[in-house]
Amino acid sequence: MSNLNIFEIPPDDDGMRLDRWLRKKFGRVPQAQVEKLSRTGQIRLDGRRVRASTRLESGQVIRVPSFETGTKDHSREKQYHHDLQDLKLIREAEIYRDDDIIVINKPQGIAVQGGSKVQRHIDGLMGALSKPGEERPKLVHRLDRDTSGVLVLARNSFSARALAKAFREREIEKTYWAIVLNTPRPPKGEIDLPLHKRGEFGKEKIVSGTGRRAITRYVVIDNAGQDVAWMALYPETGRTHQIRVHCSAIGSPIIGDRKYGARLVTPEGLPSGNRLHLHSRAITLEHPRKGLLALKAEPPDFMLDTMRYFGFERNLGDLVDQPDRRKT
């Protein structure tokens, strides 16, 4: 590591931690190595010593050794078996792309991230959405495995920070569609019920009544009598399983939600009644560089079949894609 490299921090990397910037630039760099090089002054920022946790600023000049670390760390992708059908599925799911973000219509039934028992997930397929040499797209929010619809990915660190902040501070408007059992009364309202997790590890269930505040506004778009309704839902907060639990709490569980509505009978004759009928229909966000961006995703075929089965008209949904910000 006798050779030195000098770089100027670009605008897109403004605010990034030093250790994360080094991994982005050089690939697999052990944290202990970064800490040692910082501590001994071998890494300099504008000529000064820095810590591994230092936040970089655009225009600063950094001096670093030449790291001999081999290729970039793709261990997360190696954990995922890239089935050709899944690769094709994720590429076809793309509905928007520019230099900063990618938006996909996430298929129902595939997890966003992996885990000890989850081998098939969007995070493992990120490489299929980028070309060789490009920065790997980053997740900035989540959807449940069985929820389909709009999922936003960041193409660089700058947009990842901007979008993550917008989601965290509730600056992004989201619209969900759901087909539920039992038409809610009243047909338009606000569900304000706190949520908390209960149960053993791996078998947790979100329940309402205590915990962190959760707010979901809703409107009934159409209904088939008192038995089934097509709803638009606008979550003001982003708690785990929030919409599913809130719908169940008001007596209108989502069709196919075995976790929060398993005791209720699915309408007879419905071909896809065992699949969760919850879809992230639309999102409106402030683009990191280009101003307001509004996108929609078509529901999966099984959900459209259910809507046709009950005589719901698809074009009515356009009337409620943008949330009514007035209090109900």
Strand partners, 212: 195
> What span, in angstroms and rounded, lies between the C-alpha atoms of 225 and 70?
64
Query: What are the DSSP calls for 270-314, one per residue?
Result: -TTTTS--EEEEEEEEEETTTEEEEEE-PPPHHHHHHHHHTT--G
Contact 111, 117 (CB under 8 A): no
What backbone phi and psi angles, to 5 degrees, belong to 301?
A: -55, -40
> Which of 86, 144, 146, 222 is labelled catalytic?
144
> What span, in angstroms and rounded, lies between the C-alpha atoms of 105 and 82?
19
Q: Name every residue whose Cβ is closer than 8 Å to that of residue 323 and which is 6 or more positions away in sequence.
A: 173, 175, 217, 234
Which residue's structure tokens are 């209904």? 223
The H or E element spanning position 245 is helix 242-249
> What span, in angstroms and rounded, lies between the C-alpha atoms of 88 and 327?
43
Q: Name every residue whose Cβ is closer than 8 Å to that of residue 298 and which is 6 or more positions away in sequence.
A: 105, 304
CA distances from 327 to 78, 216, 318, 321, 324 (A): 48, 12, 20, 16, 8
What the block records as the tokens of 102 is 């990618």
Query: What are the DSSP calls for 56-105, one per residue?
Result: P-TT-EEEEE-----S---HHHHTS---HHHHHHHHHTEEEE-SSEEEEE
- Told to judge if 123 belongs to the known catalytic residues of this protein, a careful annotator would answer no
Contact 101, 288 (CB under 8 A): yes
Active site residues: 144
